[in-house]
Amino acid sequence: MFFLLGTLARGLVSRGHNITLLTAFPATRESKEEPPPGLEEITPSNFVDYVRNYTNWDLVGARIRGEEPVPWSRVLAYTYESCDALLSDQETRDFLASRKNYNLVILDGAYPECGLALVHRLNAPFMYINTVGFHTAAMATSGSPTPPTITPFPNLPFTDRMNIFERTINLGYHVLFRFLNDWIVSTTVKYSQQVARRIIPVKSFTPLTAEISSH
């Protein structure tokens, strides 16, 4: 994701915009390069270390052993553990305390609930961006219609032209995944609110669920 957002940030800087890039991938810091004028790179060390350790996967070895590369318990844990690592870091706190004004916040579209806490604090409009197609539950949550009669589930070899049997299977996958997604998101949002309330003053913080339901 850094390659996309990093490239986007540099492209916007070259067009005269001032960009703040909050990321777990400190490209300029590790290469000891100076970011171009107009680009501020914020890489909270707790967040960087957590993501680096979390993504230290033995994908090939796990496949050979017939194991799941990333257990579902770890997938779920990432959503709130990474949020805790991000929001509790002193560099993030200093950033939020700076009270800078932004015209737009761009969030990674893959489970961005923790980022919505930052949007609340910055009080700025936001948009999602992702390197891959959004899964259907995320599209529905963000306000884009995904009728299962014509929207094939990503893991199924269907097109938008399905017979009644394929539509039934497709509907079942959509319903099951939407249930699991809502459970994961609600768990993440509740934990993110707890974390965010420790960082963001209560008077300026409203429930993230209200933010999600309004977009």
Q: Is the pLDDT of residue 195 over 60?
A: yes
The pTM of this model reads 0.67
**Nearest 5 degrees, angle CA 171-CA 174-CA 177?**
145
**Domain residue ranges in the chain:** 44-145+191-213
Do the Cβ atoms of 71 and 47 come closer than 8 Å?
no
Instruction: Give 201's contacts (C-beta < 8 A, 6+ positions apart).
Output: none
**Calpha distance 200→180 (Å, rounded):** 29
Write down the pLDDT at residue 86: 87
Instruction: Give 131's contacts (C-beta < 8 A, 6+ positions apart).
Output: 1, 4
Q: Of 34-38, 79-83, 196-200, which gets the smallest average pLDDT? A: 196-200
